[in-house]
Amino acid sequence: MSEKKCTDKNCKCCCHEPVANEDTHKNAHDKSRRDFIRYAGMGAIGLGLGPAISYWLQEEGKINEIIKNPAVINGKAQRLTILHTSDIHGQLDIHDEFFVENGKPVFKKRGGFATLKTMLTELRKQNPLNTLLLDGGDCFQGSAIASMTMGTAIVPLANKLNYDLVLPGNWEVVYGKQMLLHDMNTYSAAKICANMFDNDDLDHDLLFPPYQVFNMGGTRIGFIGYNDPLTPIRQSPAYSKGIKFTKPEKNIQKYIKILREEKGCAMVFVISHMGMAQQLHLANHEFAQGVDYILGADTHERIRQPLQGKFAKVTEPGAFASFVGKLDIVIENGKIKEEVYELLDVDPEKYAEDEEMKHLVEKTKKPYKKILSEVLGQSKTPLMRYYIIETPMDNLITDALMWKMKTDIVVSNGFRFCPPLLPDPKTGLADITRDFLWSMLPVNSEVKTADVKGRQILNWLEKELENAFAKDATKRFGGWFVRFKGMKVTFTIGNEKGKRVQEVCVNDVTIDPEKIYSMCACLREGDPDNVLCRMLNVHNPVPQGILLHDVVEDYLAEFSPVSPVVEGRAVATDAPADLLTQIIPGLEYEFR
């Protein structure tokens, strides 16, 4: 890639490295100048906070200290602001969101692109010339509109939020390599990822630039991007066909050195989509020396105070456009003097919806509105997916599979996407629409059955527990245990690999290692015929010619209203049923 330069000292994008083409740079340059003119017209060039904003800040005192810093006021130091979203999963509307207060579940309305637009506009007014907006991936997958348009409807709306930098997430590959490239290149923002390669050419064919440099008020800061190297295993293999992933340690030191020594960056950030465990692992290893922050994503964690690793701090900004991570930094003479991080709620009671964005969202949804608004059934209990071990939402899905397929065991993969759905307090019922079904199951896979030995099931369960709770963080698949019906599994998370399973019962009878059991799961595109939900060498595999959505729809038509709850299908001896985050020894962090 050729290197382009700009001579405008007010252009915060003029140090983008490398620049893919001159038009991309010109658009970024023009955006920066438009932002300057717009904010100047609003009288927003000062560093003071408006009263509506200061009311919302969780760290108001610390922010005020930064604003009143004499070096910032007289121009000897720069205040930089980084806004961070991730794991939006195509969720465009205000929705129910799950919180924990005083140890109990609480639900509040959060999110919506129109709410987010207003909030981001207000946050930029605090520091209009030195604010960057980043997205950490999984933006255009996870909802009906996203799935039906293969992401193409979501990116133009995201562009209206004026992102400066974006990273592909592990689910961004769901539509295949060509659509990944199409959707990512539709972003007006710069794109980075240092570990996704075209096929096996690891020397030359990165799909995206590995890093970007921004000039913010004369201070250069650099960003390196990483997607989850386990993506081809976590997702159906066909999604990643033609893409080679590598681990960050393969090249991160090279790029840190380039950014620090060649580009003169005062700070270096990693923007990653690898999950909290892998990101903390990265922060604690020498190859990350020289990184200030790892702005993470993937596991939807709500990190409210940065987690301090040996070499870098780690953050993660929740999911579904319900939260924005906000990092304020004061840099003087190339040194960090002050820093404040906040996780801010996208709260529709505090931020009125932006009318233009609201109209654009409605226009985007209009062609699909009739079919997606169809009510398929109702639930008496909250449908949610935040728990690590067992969730009501996946119990609904596996209940439907068991009813339809009549196998001994049915399996649903462990996921965390899909916002909760809360019953109406007046009727006691929550409408399950076709739109919500797509959020629960954004990939409408075919159902597949097979015969498996009890011993295979035991070995597979050990492997799945390792995927979720491996002591080696680089081997963790997100951090959620597979979900099922027909079995009761008791296990100990803290045990060594291969020794976690304590007891397995199938249909209330202790599993027989030599017995053959029938099993059902979704077909994963690209897997060999004799693989079922990552279980190898199954017998008599048969695609059933029925899609998962059809199974759930038929079940709801028969049994609505449903009442799925956590009922002890999976039990950890050393963790509660409502475990909300990965178990990482020594980690002081609470999901709330």
Tens digit of each residue's pLDDT (9 = 90 or more) over 69-112 = 776 766 677 899 999 999 999 999 999 999 999 989 999 999 99
The DSSP result for 388-400, as a single string, is SS--HHHHHHHHH
Among residues 536, 512, 513, 532, the alpha carbon closest in space to that of 522 is found at: 532
Helix residue ranges, H only, 332-443:
355-365, 369-372, 392-405, 434-440
Average of per-residue pLDDT across 7-19: 43
Model confidence at 149: pLDDT above 50: yes
Give the pLDDT of residue 5: 41
Determine the average pLDDT of the residues in 545-550. Answer: 96
Cβ atoms of residues 172 and 137 within 8 Å:
yes
Instruction: For residue range 249-266, list pLDDT tens digits in order.
Output: 999 999 999 999 999 999
pLDDT top residue among 34 and 229: 229
pLDDT at position 151 over 80: yes
| Confidence at residue 473, expressed as pLDDT on a 0 to 100 scale | 83
Torsion of CA 58, 62, 64, 67, to 10 degrees: -120
Confidence band of 585 (pLDDT split at 50, 70, 90): confident
> What ranges do the domains of the chain cover?
22-359, 373-572
User: What's the pLDDT at 18?
Assistant: 43
Task: Return the closest-CA partner of residue 347 out of 577, 575, 108.
Answer: 108
Report the chain's mean pLDDT, rounded to a whole number: 88
Residue 591 has what pLDDT? 92
**C-alpha radius of gyration, the chain, whole number:** 24
Which residue type is seen at 30?
D
CATH among 2.70.98.30, 3.60.21.10, 3.40.190.10, 3.20.190.10 for 22-359? 3.60.21.10
Nearest to 302 by CA among 461, 100, 442: 100
Distance of CA 456 to the CA centre of its chain: 32
Nearest CA-CA partner of 134 in 96, 167, 173: 167
By the 10 Å C-beta count (0-12 exposed, 13-18 middle, 19+ buried), 470 is classed as: middle
pLDDT of residue 203: 60
Q: Is 71 helix (H, G, I), strand (E, B) or coil?
A: helix
C-alpha distances (whole Å) from 396 to each of 547, 553, 562 are 16, 11, 8
pTM of the model: 0.88
Helix (H, G, I), strand (E, B) or coil at 479: coil
CATH architecture of 373-572: Alpha-Beta Complex (3.90)
Q: Are 279 and 273 in contact (CB under 8 A)?
A: no
The pairing of strands 335-345 and 323-332 is antiparallel
pLDDT-wise least confident of 117-131, 372-386, 507-521, 525-539: 525-539
Q: How far, in Å, are 21, 253, 421, 438 from residue 385 at the CA level?
A: 42, 37, 10, 14
The DSSP element (H or E) to which 28 belongs, if any, is helix 22-41
More confidently predicted of 523 and 143: 143
pLDDT at 47 over 60: no
pLDDT band at 200; cut points 50, 70, 90? low
Q: How many CB atoms lie within 10 A of CB 555?
A: 21
Residue 323 has pLDDT above 50, yes or no: yes
Model confidence at 582: pLDDT above 90:
no
Question: What's residue 17's pLDDT?
Answer: 44
